[in-house]
Amino acid sequence: MSVAKSEPLWQRRLKNIKTNVDTIRFATDHDLAQNQEWCEVIFKNGTRRRYLFHNYAEVYRTPGLYEKLFYERLRCSSPSRTVRLLEELVHDFELPMEGLRVLDVGAGNGMVGDELRVRRVRTIVGVDIIPEAKEATNRDRPGVYNEYFVTDLTDLPEHLEKRLREYNFNCLTTVAALGFGDIPPAAFIKALDLIETPGWVAFTIKEDFLHERDSSGFSKLIRYLNKNELMQVQAYRRYRHRYSMTGKPLYYVIMVARKLRDVPDQLFPDVLDLR
């Protein structure tokens, strides 16, 4: 599959997913926090079921629901936007996309891997904390990742770390997966440590998590990484990640950065004080 200008990749993929999802209904009469949003799904056989948006395991288990909910209805654009911005910078550096060896953390059902693969990236390894993400990737986007590991980067078994390091990754991607009790700062630091120096780092984060008052630890961590020249931001792009179920735009930031220095050992215990 090549990069088409008109039809988004997720839409082309959805055509080949056998889904029983018929209608998605939102409770639009009240504003819920982003991680508390839910919907009712009506299936083609008439049965109904509620889904909490952030219960990814349940969403992935239902073929086509992730795409229909977040992409078709809520107009999520994060994987394609992030990979496009990364591609632009890689080209600015006069480097080929084929030369990237990517670790995609919080890989989910493979949307980011898919965007990378159509841009000719040859080595893409996925990591997610739930087995349903890997199962959905194998079901709906087989072959997109060279390997896919279900693991917790804050407690990475030694043998797995060895396997991951053998890839000599030179690019980390993590899209729509930081904050909200998903990937914590400590896991992000571990992922960064698995990338060669110099290397690329492309991630998205809700703009609230970059405010001084943020309590997730990411605002402090990103400032630390910049101030100590571990990371140099090449592109900072505010964009609409998706709409909320009541139709409000949810703004995130894409950062594409160069990893300039190895992660110092003392950053690991330090991160515990980031909150």
Q: Which residues bind ligand SAM (CB under 6 A)?
A: 56, 78-79, 105-108, 111-112, 127-130, 133, 152-153, 175-177, 182-183, 187
Q: Cα(first)–Cα(last) distance of the chain, in Å?
A: 43
Which CB sits closer to ligand SAM, 172 or 175? 175
Which CB sits closer to ligand SAM, 86 or 133? 133
Which CB sits closer to ligand SAM, 7 or 29? 7
Which CB sits closer to ligand SAM, 13 or 47? 13
Residue with tokens 């330090």: 270
CA-nearest of 33, 41, 121 to 73 is: 41
User: Where would I find the beta strands (DSSP E) of 114-208?
Assistant: 123-128, 147-150, 171-174, 199-206
Q: Provide the minimum distance between the beta carbon of 47 and ligand SAM in the complex, in angstroms, as a whole number.
A: 25
Q: Provide the minimum distance between the beta carbon of 227 and ligand SAM in the complex, in angstroms, as a whole number.
A: 25
Which CB sits closer to ligand SAM, 135 or 182? 182
Enter the DSSP assignment of 41.
E
Which CB sits closer to ligand SAM, 26 or 252? 252
Q: Provide the minimum distance between the beta carbon of 58 and ligand SAM in the complex, in angstroms, as a whole number.
A: 11
Q: Provide the minimum distance between the beta carbon of 205 and ligand SAM in the complex, in angstroms, as a whole number.
A: 12
CA-nearest of 189, 274, 201 to 233 is: 201
Q: Provide the minimum distance between the beta carbon of 56 and ligand SAM in the complex, in angstroms, as a whole number.
A: 4
Q: Residues for the chain: how many in total?
A: 275
Which residues are within 8 A (CB) of 78 and not within 5 positions of it... i.e. 6 or more apart? 175, 176, 204, 241, 242, 252, 254
Q: Provide the minimum distance between the beta carbon of 45 and ligand SAM in the complex, in angstroms, as a whole number.
A: 27
214 φ, ψ (degrees, to nearest 5): -55, 140
What CA–CA distance (Å, rounded) separates 110 from 129? 13
Helix (H) or strand (E) holding 244: none
